[in-house]
């Protein structure tokens, strides 16, 4: 007999027939009621064991975490909270789980404890829900772009270029650490390395993506990116997934329209497909916030917050306007910010971004036209000569979720900028070729996938929305 997923059993259109279910025991009550979960849904199916006719030995082995297979009749449940249950006629223990030792006890565990057990935390309601939501969001990303005719591009993970020019890269090498080959002046001789040059893990697929956009028109990447920035925050990972669309002939306004439409689409798609999981996560968040002082609690419940993003346009504000707002803000005047905003040109910290979104505008914000010298080399210089056509999208509770720009399409201006920043033209000869042969206005952005998952699930630490987080001093599993 083939087993049926718990989700399908609970949604069955009929009752009173024999079924087989396989899954893991969440709880076993009164020597009679198994709450069985197989990961197909947050909901368990109740399996009622005929304890009088089941050997004591078997009953003892029905413990939290054990894998079991049950055969029995699917019947309408008398208990509250579930439509169907299984009247077990045959029970088989597939894999025992020592009740004393299994770390995922049916009680509340701290998120820190669960992180240390990332291989088992996915067996909890919260992490099952988060990971299903993450999967559906990923599908939504592909569906959105594929329906719009974007081409999915797999940009390289190992690369010689520093796309963001920030230098926060993990080196990739096959050279030995002892007896490292050196040049005459004592530097590491990368000519003898695997690729014959210095290479690193990519920080962004953008530069390669741009070359494809300048041929295929509309492309997107969706892949892992790596940053060796030593920021131990609840918003940073050393390995994260980024979605980077790039579109030929789009200017910055088109880019903002695309980003807004895209984000609203994937949230809506996920709200439709993940109702049970999101309802659970909403309850989890409410529960978590009970322990916080009133002022720190969210003003909206999770689903309300998601709907708010769907129903309201993102507020578009120039960097210059934002600086004026911040300079006049109460926390700035009262010196409550860690970094006081004094003048135009200051880089915005997450405390400023969050003030703008959460306190001032109270909705998602797109900041644009940043000072050139706080942004990457490839951004289109404005006529004023001091700002670039950059945009960051800021979300409540998250801060920056998207970074993007219209690209500098003018060869001469780009080369001059690279020279000024000391970026090697020879290294990026292929990138400059896009400006040499058929250059055109084009734009794109990068969305940090985990920051999106954070927002949709209402979790507050980025380590809790990726299966196995990579952060400074941590690469377990």
Residue 353 binds: one of Mg ion, ligand 4AD, none (C-beta under 5 to 8 A by kind): none
- Least distance in angstroms from the C-beta of 73 to ligand 4AD: 49
Reported residue count of the chain is: 477
Query: Which residues in the 424-463 window bind ligand 4AD by CB under 6 A?
Result: 444-448, 450-451
What 3-state class would DSSP assign to 184? coil
CB environment 210-241: b (16+ within 10 A), e (fewer): bbbbbeebbbbbbbebbbeeeeeeebbbbbbb
- Per-residue x/- track, 22-51, ligand 4AD (CB under 6 A): ------------------------------
Size of the site for ligand 4AD (CB under 6 A): 23
Q: What are phi and psi of 277, to 5 degrees?
A: -65, -45
- Interaction of residue 399 with Mg ion, rule CB under 5 A: no
Residue 237 binds: one of Mg ion, ligand 4AD, none (C-beta under 5 to 8 A by kind): ligand 4AD
Place of tokens 């920030």: 166
Residue 242 binds: one of ligand 4AD, Mg ion, none (C-beta under 5 to 8 A by kind): ligand 4AD
- Interaction of residue 237 with ligand 4AD, rule CB under 6 A: yes
- Least distance in angstroms from the C-beta of 216 to ligand 4AD: 16
- Least distance in angstroms from the C-beta of 242 to ligand 4AD: 5
Residue with smaller CB distance to ligand 4AD, 69 or 460: 460
**Number of neighbouring beta carbons within 10 Å of residue 280:** 21
- Least distance in angstroms from the C-beta of 376 to ligand 4AD: 7
Q: Quick one: which of 244, 277, 369, 464 contacts ligand 4AD (CB under 6 A)?
A: 244
What 3-state class would DSSP assign to 68? strand
Q: Is 342 exposed, middle or buried (0-12, 13-18, 19+ CB in 10 A)?
A: exposed
Residue with smaller CB distance to ligand 4AD, 127 or 377: 377
Provide the token pair at 151.
């081409």
Report the DSSP beta bridge partners of residue 23: 68
Q: For the chain, how far is it from start to end, CA to CA, in angstroms? A: 35
- Least distance in angstroms from the C-beta of 470 to ligand 4AD: 10
d(CA 29, CA 34): 7
Query: Which residues in the 395-414 window bind ligand 4AD by CB under 6 A?
Result: 400-405
**Number of neighbouring beta carbons within 10 Å of residue 149:** 9
Contact segment (CB under 6 A) with ligand 4AD among 180-188, 235-243, 268-276, 293-301 equals: 235-243
Size of the site for Mg ion (CB under 5 A): 1
364 contacts 316 by C-beta, under 8 angstroms: no
204 contacts 377 by C-beta, under 8 angstroms: no
d(CA 433, CA 415): 11
Residue 206 binds: one of ligand 4AD, Mg ion, none (C-beta under 5 to 8 A by kind): ligand 4AD
d(CA 77, CA 182): 74
d(CA 274, CA 268): 10
Residue with smaller CB distance to ligand 4AD, 23 or 404: 404
Helix (H) or strand (E) holding 375: none
- Least distance in angstroms from the C-beta of 229 to ligand 4AD: 6
- Interaction of residue 403 with Mg ion, rule CB under 5 A: yes
Nearest to 86 by CA among 34, 161, 137: 34
What 3-state class would DSSP assign to 368? strand
- Interaction of residue 223 with ligand 4AD, rule CB under 6 A: no
Residue 162 binds: one of Mg ion, ligand 4AD, none (C-beta under 5 to 8 A by kind): none
- Least distance in angstroms from the C-beta of 217 to Mg ion: 25
Residue 448 binds: one of Mg ion, ligand 4AD, none (C-beta under 5 to 8 A by kind): ligand 4AD
- Per-residue x/- track, 158-197, ligand 4AD (CB under 6 A): -----xx---------------------------------
Residue with smaller CB distance to ligand 4AD, 163 or 322: 163
68 contacts 36 by C-beta, under 8 angstroms: yes
Q: What are phi and psi of 89, to 5 degrees?
A: -110, -25
Residue with smaller CB distance to Mg ion, 129 or 452: 452
Contact segment (CB under 6 A) with ligand 4AD among 234-242, 256-264, 357-365, 427-435 equals: 234-242
Residue 255 binds: one of Mg ion, ligand 4AD, none (C-beta under 5 to 8 A by kind): none
d(CA 195, CA 55): 64
- Least distance in angstroms from the C-beta of 444 to ligand 4AD: 5
444 contacts 245 by C-beta, under 8 angstroms: yes
Helix (H) or strand (E) holding 405: strand 399-406
What lies within 8 Å, CB to CB, of 329 at 6+ separation is: 355, 359, 360
Binding site for ligand 4AD (CB under 6 A): 163-164, 204, 206, 227, 236-237, 240, 242, 244, 400-405, 444-448, 450-451
Binding site for Mg ion (CB under 5 A): 403
């Amino acid at each position: 007999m083939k087993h049926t997923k718990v989700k399908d059993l609970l949604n069955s259109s009929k009752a009173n027939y024999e079924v087989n279910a396989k899954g893991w025991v969440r709880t076993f009550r009164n020597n009679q009621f198994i709450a069985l979960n197989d990961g197909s849904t947050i909901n368990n199916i109740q399996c009622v064991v005929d304890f009088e006719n089941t050997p004591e030995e078997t009953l003892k082995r029905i413990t939290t975490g054990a894998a079991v297979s049950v055969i029995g009749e699917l019947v309408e449940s008398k208990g509250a909270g579930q439509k169907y249950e299984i009247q077990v006629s045959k029970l088989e223990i597939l894999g025992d789980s020592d009740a004393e030792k299994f770390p995922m006890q049916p009680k509340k565990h701290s998120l820190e404890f669960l992180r240390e057990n990332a291989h088992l935390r996915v067996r909890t309601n919260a992490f099952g829900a988060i990971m299903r939501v993450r999967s559906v969001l990923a599908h939504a990303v592909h569906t959105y772009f594929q329906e719009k005719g974007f081409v999915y591009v797999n940009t390289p993970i190992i690369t010689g270029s520093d796309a963001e020019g920030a230098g926060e890269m993990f080196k990739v090498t096959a050279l030995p650490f002892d007896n490292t080959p050196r040049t005459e002046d004592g530097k590491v001789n990368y000519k003898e390395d695997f690729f014959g040059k210095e290479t690193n893990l990519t920080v962004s697929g953008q530069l390669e993506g741009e070359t494809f956009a300048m041929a295929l028109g509309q492309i997107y990447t969706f892949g892992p990116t790596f940053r060796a920035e030593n920021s131990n925050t609840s918003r940073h990972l050393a390995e994260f997934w980024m979605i980077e669309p790039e579109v030929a002939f789009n200017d910055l306004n088109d880019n903002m329209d695309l980003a807004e439409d895209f984000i609203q689409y994937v949230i809506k798609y996920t709200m439709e497909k993940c109702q049970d999981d999101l309802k659970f996560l909403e309850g989890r968040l409410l529960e978590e916030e009970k322990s916080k002082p009133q002022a720190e609690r969210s003003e909206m419940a999770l689903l309300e917050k998601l709907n708010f993003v769907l129903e309201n346009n993102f507020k578009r504000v120039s960097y210059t306007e934002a600086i004026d707002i911040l300079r006049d803000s109460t926390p700035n005047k009262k010196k409550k910010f860690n970094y006081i905003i004094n003048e135009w040109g200051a880089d915005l910290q997450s405390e400023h971004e969050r003030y703008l979104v959460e306190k001032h505008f109270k909705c998602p914000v797109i900041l644009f036209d940043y000072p050139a010298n706080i942004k990457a080399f490839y951004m289109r210089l404005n006529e004023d000569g001091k700002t670039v056509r950059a945009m960051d999208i800021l979300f409540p509770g998250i801060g920056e979720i998207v970074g993007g720009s219209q690209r500098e399409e003018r060869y001469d201006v780009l080369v001059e900028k690279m020279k000024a920043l000391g970026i090697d033209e020879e290294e990026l000869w292929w990138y400059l070729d896009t400006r040499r042969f058929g250059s055109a206005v084009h734009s794109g952005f990068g969305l940090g996938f985990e920051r999106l998952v954070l927002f949709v699930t209402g979790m507050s630490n980025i380590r809790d929305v990726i299966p196995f987080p990579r952060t400074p001093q941590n690469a377990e599993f």
